[in-house]
């Protein structure tokens, strides 16, 4: 948690120096909403096409937004807007390395061939749908919004892992796009809480919407909507995407 909060504060403080007008802030929020909503809808559609099935059970589940992350983001932006500390950008890379190390250690303890196999076809198909849907969204919005292709793909392929994707994109493309990546993936997670309980569809399609968050933050939603039988598939999908994101996001940024 301390590493994550430090990263959020640093990137938002860095970005605060860039968001010097209301028009820039408005565009950032609008683009973030466009990306997150499009990712959810396109990924859901791809998941339905891949699975070719419709689920039956639906239930209402509510998640709690991590308000401390939002507060840290706002405070960092305000500090950055009124101060000019030139070394702030240099702090992102070492903080990101610490986060990657911590996540790698924790993930390595639980991800095994057995855990992936236990998720079976549902988890694998959900991951495939998430990757295809996010890629298609990144390609389309790059053209529609005039965002560079590599940056657009990186933003879309964050899979809801905003604490990693935001700082990584900022490191390669600057603080403005780092904030775009952070907000887009944060909103994707929050949309998962809101829309999944009311969406009819196959387990593969519903799980794919949550991206990497299905193994932890949004897991209760899927247990409520799909039942405990699909908890392993949700965890498997989240684990697979958590491994893929730190590879794919930096890769597309260097294309």
- Mean of per-residue pLDDT scores for the chain: 78
Has residue 207 got a pLDDT over 50? yes
Number of domains in the chain: 1
- Give the Cα separation of 102 and 106 in Å (integer): 6
pLDDT of residue 10: 56
> Range of 79's domain?
2-253
pLDDT of residue 79: 65
Residue 148 contacts residue 173 (beta carbons within 8 Å): yes
pLDDT of residue 230: 82
Model-level pTM?
0.73
pLDDT of residue 241: 95
pLDDT band at residue 60 using 50, 70 and 90 as cut-offs: very low
């Amino acid at each position: 948690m301390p590493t994550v909060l430090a990263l959020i504060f640093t990137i938002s403080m860095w970005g605060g120096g860039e968001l010097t007008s209301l028009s820039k802030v408005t565009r950032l929020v609008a683009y973030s909403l466009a990306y997150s909503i499009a990712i959810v809808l396109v990924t859901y559609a791809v998941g339905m096409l891949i699975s070719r099935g419709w689920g039956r059970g639906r239930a209402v589940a509510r998640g709690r937004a991590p308000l401390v992350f939002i507060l840290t983001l706002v405070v960092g932006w305000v500090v950055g807007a009124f101060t000019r500390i030139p070394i702030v950008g240099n702090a992102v890379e070492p903080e990101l390395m610490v986060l990657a190390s911590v996540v790698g250690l924790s993930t390595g303890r639980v991800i095994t061939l057995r855990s992936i196999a236990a998720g079976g076809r549902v988890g694998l198909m959900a991951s495939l749908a998430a990757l295809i849907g996010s890629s298609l969204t990144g390609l389309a919005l790059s053209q529609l919004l005039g965002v560079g292709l590599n940056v657009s793909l990186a933003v879309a392929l964050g899979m809801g892992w905003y604490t990693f994707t935001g700082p990584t994109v900022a490191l390669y493309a600057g603080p403005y796009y780092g904030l775009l990546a952070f907000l887009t993936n944060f909103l994707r997670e929050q949309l998962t809480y809101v829309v999944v309980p009311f969406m009819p569809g196959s387990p593969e399609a519903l799980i794919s919407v949550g991206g990497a968050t299905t193994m932890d933050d949004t897991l209760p939603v899927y247990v409520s909507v799909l039942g405990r039988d699909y908890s392993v598939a949700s965890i498997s999908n989240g684990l697979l995407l958590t491994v893929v994101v730190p590879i794919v996001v930096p890769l597309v940024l260097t294309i």
